[in-house]
Amino acid sequence: MAAMTALKKTYHVDLPELMRTYETNYAKLNALLPAQPSVGDVRCYQAAHLTYQLQVLEVTKYTTLVEICQSDDISIFPLPTMSVRLYHDARVAEVLTTDQLNRVLARYDYPNEKMVQKDEKAQINRFLGDWLTFCLKRGISRAPIHINQ
């Protein structure tokens, strides 16, 4: 009977937790980006044997759109890329897209065609936070990387 109840339990977004993640990611991104970003600005950070690149794609009065990608000299598996929008009035940063998802939804039914988790948005934004923390703690600024697309 408990197994049946677990299967029927629906996922609800933990909005306060998600907003805390957005807020901390905003602060971390601002520490890694130029003070007054312009379209085309690129910042790269070498951490361990990995390179992380942040590129400003769009700047408006209230938002900045940044593409973040990871590079490695010898890639064994596909490396993550994501676009993140910073909302300056609310002081939050949210992952909008990843290399696998054209749009990250707040929640997903499971199972689904792409087999993303019910809380994929929360997981991706926590992953971004971990990534940014790693760059802040261990990263050394370096020249931009060039990705063949």
Confidence band, pLDDT 50/70/90 cuts, at residue 86: very high
Cβ neighbours around 65 below 10 Å, total: 17
Question: In the chain, what are the domain boundaries?
Answer: 15-32+39-141
Dihedral angle at the C-alpha atoms of 68, 73, 78, 82, nearest 10 degrees? 0
Note the pTM of the prediction, 2 decimals: 0.82
Token output for 80: 């993550």
Q: Which residue has the higher pLDDT, 143 or 39?
A: 39
State mean pLDDT over 18-39. 96
Confidence band, pLDDT 50/70/90 cuts, at residue 109: confident
